[in-house]
Amino acid sequence: MAVKRILSGMRPTGKLHIGHYVGALANWVALQKEYQNFHLIADYHVLTTDLDTSSMPANTVDMVKDWIAAGIDPEKSPVFRQSQVKEHAELYLLFSMLITKERLERNPSLKEQVRDLGLPAVVYGHLGYPVLQAADILLYRADAVPVGEDQSSHVEISREIARKFNCTYGRIFPEPRTKLTRFSRLPGLDGKAKMSKSLGNTVFLSDGPEDIWQAVRKAVTDPQKIYRNDPGRPDICTIFTYHSVFNTDETPAIRRDCESGVLGCVDCKKRCAAKIAEYFAPHREKRSSLSDAMVMDILRDGEARARREAAETMEMVHDTMKLG
pLDDT in tens, 39-98: 999 999 999 988 999 999 999 999 999 999 999 999 999 999 999 999 999 999 999 999
My answer on whether 79 and 39 are in the same domain is yes
My answer on whether 165 and 39 are in the same domain is yes
My answer on whether 176 and 312 are in the same domain is yes
My answer on whether 153 and 81 are in the same domain is yes
Is 152 part of a structural domain of the chain?
Answer: yes
Is 191 part of a structural domain of the chain?
Answer: no
pLDDT in tens, 221-261: 999 888 888 899 999 999 999 999 999 999 999 999 999 99
My answer on whether 209 and 98 are in the same domain is no
Burial of 114 (0-12, 13-18, 19+ CB in 10 A): middle
The pLDDT of residue 1 is above 60 = no
Domain coverage including residue 257: 197-283
My answer on whether 118 and 14 are in the same domain is yes
My answer on whether 30 and 133 are in the same domain is yes
The span from the CA of 158 to the CA of 143, in Å, is 11
**Number of domains comprising the chain:** 2
Look up the pTM and report it: 0.92
Which run of H or of E encompasses 321? helix 292-321
Burial of 103 (0-12, 13-18, 19+ CB in 10 A): middle
The pLDDT of residue 121 is above 90 = no
My answer on whether 30 and 159 are in the same domain is yes
Q: Which residues contact 105 (CB under 8 A, 6 or more apart)?
A: 127
Neighbours of 187 (CB within 10 A): 19
To the nearest whole number, what is the mean pLDDT of the chain? 93
My answer on whether 174 and 116 are in the same domain is yes
Is 107 part of a structural domain of the chain?
Answer: yes
The pLDDT of residue 107 is above 90 = no
My answer on whether 277 and 129 are in the same domain is no
Beta pairing, strands 36-41 & 144-147: unpaired
Sign of CA dihedral 18, 44, 179, 192: positive
Output the furthest CA–CA distance in the chain (Å, rounded).
76
Is 252 part of a structural domain of the chain?
Answer: yes
My answer on whether 102 and 224 are in the same domain is no
Is 237 part of a structural domain of the chain?
Answer: yes
The larger pLDDT score, comparing residue 143 to residue 112, is at: 143
My answer on whether 120 and 38 are in the same domain is yes
Is 129 part of a structural domain of the chain?
Answer: yes
pLDDT given at position 110? 81
Is 192 part of a structural domain of the chain?
Answer: no
Any idea what the CATH number is for the domain that residue 242 is in?
1.10.240.10
Is 179 part of a structural domain of the chain?
Answer: yes
Closest of 24, 252, 300 to residue 151, by C-alpha: 24
Q: What is the mean pLDDT of residues 259-280?
A: 96
Any idea what the CATH number is for the domain that residue 297 is in?
3.40.50.620
